[in-house]
């Protein structure tokens, strides 16, 4: 089982739609969770951290479910500029001090 698993997509949605991505992680001791955005042939950029109580940043909402070991990202009122790959990221918190990146979910917002 991969440490961090994501549906690769692509998710094709019209402008204005609401779309949600889920990500599962295997290490129950993980403490830090993030969503990154990566545009084609560009570097990953931090979109938002994910907190236990859930958090919102404009049109983006992140949720954490520790019991089921998954995190989610909800995008409301999708824009063309939201088209990108969204990477789920979890810290290892054991031995090797590092972040583990999921393979990403590709979102294509269509006019």
Partner 1 sequence: NAGVTQTPKFQVLKTGQSMTLQCAQDMNHEYMSWYRQDPGMGLRLIHYSVGAGITDQGEVPNGYNVSRSTTEDFPLRLLSAAPSQTSVYFCASSYGTGGQPQHFGDGTRLSIL
Name residue, tokens 């983006």.
60
Taking the least distance from each CB to partner 1, the nearer of 83 and 104 is 104
At its nearest, how many Å lie between partner 1 and the CB of residue 111?
27
d(CA 17, CA 24): 24
38: left (phi over 0), alpha (psi -120 to 50) or beta: beta
At its nearest, how many Å lie between partner 1 and the CB of residue 28?
16
Residues interacting with partner 1, by CB under 8 A?
A: 4, 8, 31-32, 34, 42-46, 49, 87, 89, 91-93, 96-104
């Amino acid at each position: 089982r991969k440490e961090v698993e994501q549906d690769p997509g692509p998710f094709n949605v019209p402008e204005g739609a609401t779309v949600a991505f889920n990500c599962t992680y295997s290490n129950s001791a993980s403490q830090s969770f993030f969503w990154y955005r990566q545009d084609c042939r560009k570097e990953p950029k931090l979109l938002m951290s994910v907190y236990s109580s859930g958090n919102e940043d404009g049109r983006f909402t992140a949720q954490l479910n520790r019991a089921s070991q998954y995190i989610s990202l909800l995008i409301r009122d999708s824009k063309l500029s939201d088209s990108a790959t969204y990477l789920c990221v979890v810290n290892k918190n054991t031995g090797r001090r590092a972040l583990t990146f999921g393979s990403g979910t590709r979102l294509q917002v269509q006019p």
